[in-house]
C-alpha cells in the first residue's frame, strides 16, 4: 500500500448519506488513539509487533501520533487494514509559549515552564505535506537534530570525566535505531530517550557488573535510584540526573511557537488537540489546575479537543478531568503512548491497572469517531470538524449537534471499513 492508497481507502468508502443510512457500529470497540511507533522511541520494535498485540487484545481502532516524520504510517495503514483495524493518523509537536515561560507556568511538562505538547488528530496531509507544513517540519527537525548532537557530546564528556569512555555521537545513535528497527536513516529524528538508551546500553557493555553502581554514583553525583544492571532503568536515571534542565548534559531546547505548532497541525489537515497530564504530575501543573481555567485557556487558543493518557492518572482524577472537559464541549480521546520500554496493554487503563470507567470509555470512543469522520471528509476534500484555519464546522445549530453528527458519521465510517466496504 502506498501513501496515496491510504487516503484512497477512505475515498472509496460510500458517500456520506449512504454511510449514515447503513448505521453506526453496533458496539463500542476497544480504542486507543495515541501510540508511538519507531523511529520514535517506542515499546514496539516494529509495526507488525504493534498490530499483532492489538489484534491479540481485540483492539479495532488504533491511532498513531508520531513526532516529525510520518513515513511509517504507510506500513501501519497497510498492516492495520489486513488485521481489520481502523487506523487513526495523528501527530505530536512541542511548542514554547513565551508568556507562560516568562511567568514560570508549567503546562503539560512538569519540568519545563512554558513547554507545551500539542497533538493533531485525524491528519491526512502526512503523505504529501503542504509547502508550509514542510517548512515548519524542517525547522523543528533541524533544531532538534542540533540539540541532540550537542547533548550526545556532553554526555560523552560527563562519562569520560568519570573514567568511562563511551564512543557515541548522534550519527552512531541514529544507526542503532536504523539497525534495531530496519528503517531508513533519513526518517530518524533522535529523542532524549534514544540518547539515554544508547548510553545506558554502552555503559553496561563496557563496565563490569561489580563496578556499575559506584561508577554511576560518580557520574550522577548521586546514588542511582534504579537497578544498575537494567538498561531501561539506567536510561531513566541518565535522563533524570544528566539530561534535564540544570543538569550536566542539558542543552537548551529550541521550539516553534504555539501558533506555529497549531498551524502545522492544520496544515497537515488535522484537529488541534491538547494532551492533558493532570495528576501525571505532582503537584498538577499550574496551567491545568483548576480544570475550568485550563479548559477556558485551551478553547481561547483554538483547541477543541483534548486527550488523556489514563495510565498516568488515578481513576478519580481521570473522571474529574474527562467529565469536565467533555461537559465543556471538548471532544475527548484516550491513549497509552507506549513511548517507554514498558509493554503495557493496548487498551488504556488508569494508574496501577485500574479500569477506565464505562462513561469515560464512551467519551474516548466518541472522540475517536469524530476523528474518523474528520479524516474521512478531509480525505475527500471536504470540510471536516475544523477547517484549514482551525474554525469549527458551522453547519450545525450548536456544538453538541456538531459533535453528535460527527460521532455518528465516524461510527458509520468505521463500521463500513470494518465490513470491508472500500
* pLDDT above 90 for 28: yes
Tell me what percent of the residues of the chain surpass a pLDDT of 90: 88
* pLDDT above 50 for 60: yes
Distances (CA, A) of 159 to 48, 147, 167, 219: 36, 18, 10, 6
* pLDDT above 80 for 270: yes
* pLDDT above 80 for 135: yes
The pLDDT value given to residue 3: 46
The pLDDT value given to residue 127: 84
* 2: confidence class by pLDDT, cuts 50, 70, 90: very low
CA–CA distance, 327 with 245 (Å, rounded to integer):
37
CA–CA distance, 236 with 340 (Å, rounded to integer):
10
Task: Check: CB of residue 46 under 8 Å from CB of residue 179.
Answer: no
For 84-96, what is each residue's pLDDT tens digit? 999 999 999 999 9
**What b/e string do you get for 137-172 counting C-beta neighbours within 10 Å, with b at 16 or more?**
beebeeebbebbbebbebbbebbeeeebebebebee
Q: How many angstroms separate the most distant Cα atoms in the chain?
A: 70
* 229: confidence class by pLDDT, cuts 50, 70, 90: confident
Q: Indicate the range of 168-172, 188-192, 225-229, 273-277 predicted with least confidence.
A: 225-229
Mean pLDDT taken over the chain: 94
- Which of 4, 33, 23 is closest to 421 using CA atoms? 23
CA–CA distance, 113 with 94 (Å, rounded to integer):
13
Range 27-128+271-418: architecture per CATH? Alpha-Beta Barrel (3.20)
| Arithmetic mean of pLDDT, 76-81 | 94
7 vs 321, more confident: 321
* pLDDT above 50 for 1: no
* pLDDT above 70 for 4: no
* pLDDT above 70 for 59: yes
The structural domains of the chain, with segments of one domain joined by +, span 27-128+271-418, 137-243
25 vs 3, more confident: 25
Amino acid at each position: 500500500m502506498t501513501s496515496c492508497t491510504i487516503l484512497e481507502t477512505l475515498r472509496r468508502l460510500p458517500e456520506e448519506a449512504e454511510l449514515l443510512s447503513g448505521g453506526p457500529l453496533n458496539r463500542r470497540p476497544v480504542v486507543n488513539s495515541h501510540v508511538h511507533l519507531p523511529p520514535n522511541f517506542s515499546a514496539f520494535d516494529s509495526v507488525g509487533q504493534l498490530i499483532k498485540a492489538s489484534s491479540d487484545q481485540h483492539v479495532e481502532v488504533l491511532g498513531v501520533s508520531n513526532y516529525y516524520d510520518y513515513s511509517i504510517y504507510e506500513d501501519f495503514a497497510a498492516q492495520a487494514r489486513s488485521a481489520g483495524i481502523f487506523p487513526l493518523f495523528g501527530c505530536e509537536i512541542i511548542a514554547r509559549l513565551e508568556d507562560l515561560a516568562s511567568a514560570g507556568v508549567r503546562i503539560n511538562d512538569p519540568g519545563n515552564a512554558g513547554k507545551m505538547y500539542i497533538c493533531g488528530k485525524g491528519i491526512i496531509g502526512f503523505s504529501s505535506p503542504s509547502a508550509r507544513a514542510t517548512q515548519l517540519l524542517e525547522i523543528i527537525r533541524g533544531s532538534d537534530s542540533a540539540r541532540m548532537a550537542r547533548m550526545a557530546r556532553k554526555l560523552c564528556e560527563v562519562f569520560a570525566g568519570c573514567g568511562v569512555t563511551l564512543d557515541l555521537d548522534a550519527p552512531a545513535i541514529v544507526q542503532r535505531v536504523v539497525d534495531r528497527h530496519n528503517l531508513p536513516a533519513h526518517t530518524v529524528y533522535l529523542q532524549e530517550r534514544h540518547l539515554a538508551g544508547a548510553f545506558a546500553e554502552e555503559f553496561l557493555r563496557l563496565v563490569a557488573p561489580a563496578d556499575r553502581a559506584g561508577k554511576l554514583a560518580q557520574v550522577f553525583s548521586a546514588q542511582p535510584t534504579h537497578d544498575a544492571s537494567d538498561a531501561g532503568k539506567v536510561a531513566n536515571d541518565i535522563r533524570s540526573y544528566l539530561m534535564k534542565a540544570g543538569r550536566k548534559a542539558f542543552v537548551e531546547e529550541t521550539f516553534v511557537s504555539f501558533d506555529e505548532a497549531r498551524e502545522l497541525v492544520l496544515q497537515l489537515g488535522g484537529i488541534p488537540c491538547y494532551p492533558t497530564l493532570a495528576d501525571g504530575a505532582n503537584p498538577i501543573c499550574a496551567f491545568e489546575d483548576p480544570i475550568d481555567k485550563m479548559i477556558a485557556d485551551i478553547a481561547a487558543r483554538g483547541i477543541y479537543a483534548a486527550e488523556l493518557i489514563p495510565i498516568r492518572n488515578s481513576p478519580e482524577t481521570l473522571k474529574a478531568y474527562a467529565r469536565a472537559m467533555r461537559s465543556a464541549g471538548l471532544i475527548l480521546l484516550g491513549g497509552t503512548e507506549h513511548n517507554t520500554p514498558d509493554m503495557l496493554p493496548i487498551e488504556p487503563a488508569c494508574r496501577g491497572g485500574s479500569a477506565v470507567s464505562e462513561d469515560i470509555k464512551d467519551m474516548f470512543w466518541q472522540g475517536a469517531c469524530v476523528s474518523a469522520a474528520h479524516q474521512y471528509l478531509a480525505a475527500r476534500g471536504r470540510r471536516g470538524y475544523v477547517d484549514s484555519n482551525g474554525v469549527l464546522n458551522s453547519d450545525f445549530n450548536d456544538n453538541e449537534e456538531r459533535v453528535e453528527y460527527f460521532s455518528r458519521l465516524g461510527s458509520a465510517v468505521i463500521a463500513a471499513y470494518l465490513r470491508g466496504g472500500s
